[in-house]
Every structure is written in C-alpha cells, then in structure tokens.
Amino acid sequence: MDASDPLASYRKKFLVPAGKKGKNCIYLCGHSLGLQPTTAGEYIKQELNDWAALGVEGHFHARHPWVPYHELMNPQVARLAGAEPGEVVVMNSLTVNLHLAMVSFYRPDPSRNKILVEANAFPSDRYAVRSQMALHGIDPAHSLIEASPREGETTLRVEDVESLIDREGKDIALILMGGVQYFTGQAFDMERIVRAGHAKGCVVGFDLAHAIGNIPLRLHDWGVDFAVWCSYKYLNGGPGSLAGLFIHERHVRNQKLPRLAGWWGHDKATRFEMPAEFVPIPTAEGWQLSNPPILSAAALRASLDVFDTVGMERLREKSEQLTGYLEYLLGRSHKNFVIITPRETRDRGAQLSLLFRNAGQDTFQRLTAADVVCDWREADMRSGHGGVIRVAPVPLYNSFTDVFRFAQVLADGS
C-alpha cells in the first residue's frame, strides 16, 4: 500500500521524531501538534538573515518584506478554507480571533441572546462564550444551549441539531460549533447547520481547529458567517503558531459592524500616516490588531507551501484510506475499547477516538513506552468509562506501515 501511495514521498518533507531506540517513533498525534516541515528552518533563517542584514528596513526590503508578509499566506489559506482571498487573514491565536469575531457577531438583545454550542466543546471555546455572555450581562445558565447526543450515543445527529435550531432559533443570536469535534473526531455537516441557522435568523460560526487541513471546506459557498482556527495541528505551523480568521464577504465591507480595532487593520493606503480615525481594510484583514510575528509566520508558510503542491482533494482521498485501514485493523481483534468516531467517512477526518472501558491509562502508557505518540483524554467519569486515546493518521506524513505498526503494538497487550 505504501509502495503504491502517490503521496508517500511527502513524508520526507517532515521531520519525524526519533523514539527511545533511535528509530522513528510512530507519530499519530497530528491532531494535537503537526510535525515540522523540513524547510521550516530554512524559511525562518531567511528572515533572521534579513533581520541581521537590514534591521528595520526589512519591513520593506527583505526578500519577503515583512509589512505584507501575511498576504503571502492569505491565498493559500483561502484555498484550504474554501474561501475568497479577501475573506481570510492569518493573525493572532485561535481564542483571540474567536473573541474578536464574537465582538462583531454576537450582538444579543432582550429577545434574542442565546448561544448554541455542541456539548463538550473544547474548553477554550466554552470559556470564551461564557465570558462574552458575561460582558453583555447575560447568564449562561439561562442562555447557553448545548446540543447533546441522544441517550446512549456519543456523537450528534445533524437532524437533532436542525430540530433544536428550529425549536429554539428565534431566541438564538449565535450558533458556534466545531467543524470537527476535538474529542470524538466527528465532522459536522456545516452546510446543513448554516442553512438551518440562517433560516431562523441566527449568525453561524465555526471553530475549525481540527477541521482545516484535515477535511475539505467550502466556507464561502456554505455561507458561514465567520470561522476561526489554529495552525499548529493539521497545518503544521509549529507550537503556538499563528491562527486564522474567516469573515464572509457579505460582512467584510460592513463598516457598521462593531469591532475591536488596531492599527494593522486600518486602511493600508493611510496606515503609516497615523490618522486619528480608524478606517478598516475592506477585507478580513480589517479585523487585524497588530503586525504578525514574522518568524512564526515563516514556519507556517513552509507548511502551506507543501499543502499547495499536493492539494486537499488528494489528501482527503489518502486520509479516508488511512483512517479506514486503521478502523479495519482495530476492528479485527480489539475488544477492550469502542471507537466513538463515526464510521461513515463523510462524518470524520483523520482521527479515531478509542473509548476504553478499563485499563485505558495502562494501555496509553504501554503505547508511549513502545514509541507510539498519540494522546489521552479523560472521559466523563459518570459514564463509567476511563477515557479516550485519540489517534490521528495524517495523510501528509503518516504511512500505512505506521498504522499497521500501531495496531500491532496495541494488540500485543490486549
């Protein structure tokens, strides 16, 4: 399978950490931190050299001038997000961008002030939502709605989300959900959620931390109002790397939208004239606050250049094969866990979440000792289960051999 894989050579474009025995580890943790592109050091060194040689003049005269540096990445990110170039911008971190977006798009009033999220959303999203509600004097106990799976199920049915929106939509100001649920690995049908939300007059946004670079996205065509994401998972931008923001084009020119302004979001033609009045750039860049950290941006650009050469369509094809192969192997012999990630390929990305009935921590420690890199997440202890091992075979750098070796190691102690 590896010999016939047309994308096998891309593994050489990433640095796979060595295990304790000197050989490459089995790295299946790209859902948490993607691997370093081999060219990242070169890209960063270029900016260090220009800084050394040019000092402040590098803002305009570096090989890749720093003032418009982020503009190099906007078209690349737009292709991954299924967006127009003017609808995206690379900046800040994910939760900062979420707060900035909610300032503009969570505009509650006495009759419509609720926020709908998925149950067990990533903690940072929950904290951001609750704090934004508090800023408006709204009690989450009454106005925060959680879409939960049915009794005895672990993932959401999209028809249940639609029914909830239909029932509560007149009171909902904002729907904010993950594109791919971080814990279960479920990929939500974003197009249907947007359609249902807009039919009730709701704003619809998504956290795409586990979706961008993982599954195909069509944010513009789906009509998503806004989306945010980080870039250190499937986008391989490095720890704490720059995040992204999507604002649909129907909103970007609306200067009446409230926003927290910063000078990097000001009209480029007069930015350096330092005018007193803020005039936003009529693209998603108008939500920028400050100039981006160039060294971090350089590492991200190294990875985005790889994405540009392979394309999401081919990555998705291999991803479905890799994850399907992993599911097949795990289904043959392992009985002390259940896979809570959806079985349908359209409903998942490059991740399987293994919910252990018992001995999950012991299994995780045994995998770690065998040079397998995945991760452990505590489950709801009220369910009677210990926790989840999340495994992500990433198509850019994981092989079918990686998947086979993982299944062998897991089986050795089952």
CATH of the domain at 21: 3.90.1150.10
**What's the mean pLDDT in 187-210?**
98
Q: Is the pLDDT of residue 157 over 50?
A: yes
Task: State residue 21's pLDDT score.
Answer: 80
Task: State residue 380's pLDDT score.
Answer: 63
- Residue 343 within a domain: yes
- Residue 171 within a domain: yes
**What's the mean pLDDT in 369-389?**
79
Distance CA 6, CA 1 (A): 10
Q: Is the pLDDT of residue 320 over 90?
A: yes
| 331 in the same domain as 288 | no
Q: Is the pLDDT of residue 360 over 90?
A: no
Q: Is the pLDDT of residue 381 over 60?
A: no
| 135 in the same domain as 63 | yes
Structure tokens at 341: 């990630």
Q: What would the pLDDT profile of 167-178 be if each residue is shown by its tens digit?
A: 999 999 999 999
357, 286 Cβ separation under 8 angstroms: no
Cα 165 → chain centroid: 24
Task: State residue 291's pLDDT score.
Answer: 95
| 130 in the same domain as 109 | yes
- Residue 41 within a domain: no
Task: State residue 22's pLDDT score.
Answer: 81
- Look at residues 245, 273, 308 and tell me which one is the last residue of a structural domain: 308
Confidence band for 384, pLDDT divided at 50, 70 and 90: very low
Distance CA 280, CA 75 (A): 20
Task: State residue 385's pLDDT score.
Answer: 52
| 70 in the same domain as 161 | yes
| 64 in the same domain as 13 | no
Task: State residue 382's pLDDT score.
Answer: 43
Lowest-confidence segment of 215-219, 328-332, 373-377 by average pLDDT: 328-332
Confidence band for 331, pLDDT divided at 50, 70 and 90: confident
| 378 in the same domain as 268 | no
CA angle, 305 then 306 then 308, to 5°: 65
Q: What would the pLDDT profile of 270-311 be if each residue is shown by its tens digit?
A: 999 999 999 999 999 999 999 999 999 999 999 999 999 999
Say what percent of the chain tops pLDDT 70. Answer: 98
Confidence band for 379, pLDDT divided at 50, 70 and 90: confident
| 349 in the same domain as 271 | no
**What's the mean pLDDT in 127-151?**
97
- Look at residues 308, 333, 363 and tell me which one is the last residue of a structural domain: 308
**What's the mean pLDDT in 363-375?**
94
- Residue 238 within a domain: yes
Q: Is the pLDDT of residue 140 over 90?
A: yes
Length in residues, the chain: 414
Structure tokens at 182: 């971080």
| 54 in the same domain as 186 | yes
Task: State residue 358's pLDDT score.
Answer: 78
**What's the mean pLDDT in 153-162?**
96
- Look at residues 273, 308, 343 and tell me which one is the last residue of a structural domain: 308
- Residue 302 within a domain: yes
- Residue 38 within a domain: no
Residue 318: which domain range? 8-28+312-412
Task: State residue 6's pLDDT score.
Answer: 97
Cα 145 → chain centroid: 22
Task: State residue 334's pLDDT score.
Answer: 63
Task: State residue 82's pLDDT score.
Answer: 98
**What's the mean pLDDT in 20-32?**
93
| 267 in the same domain as 382 | no
What predicted TM-score, i.e. pTM, was given to this entire model? 0.95
* Structural domain count, the chain: 2
Cα 341 → chain centroid: 17
The β-bridge partners of 26 are 372
Q: What mean pLDDT value characterizes the chain?
A: 95
Say what percent of the chain tops pLDDT 90. Answer: 91
**What's the mean pLDDT in 64-80?**
97
**Strand 372-373 vs strand 26-27: parallel, antiparallel, or unpaired?**
parallel
Task: State residue 333's pLDDT score.
Answer: 64
Query: Residues with Cβ < 8 Å from 98, sequence gap 6 or more?
Result: 124, 125, 128, 207, 228
- Residue 307's Cβ-side half-sphere holds a number of Cα atoms within 13 Å equal to 26
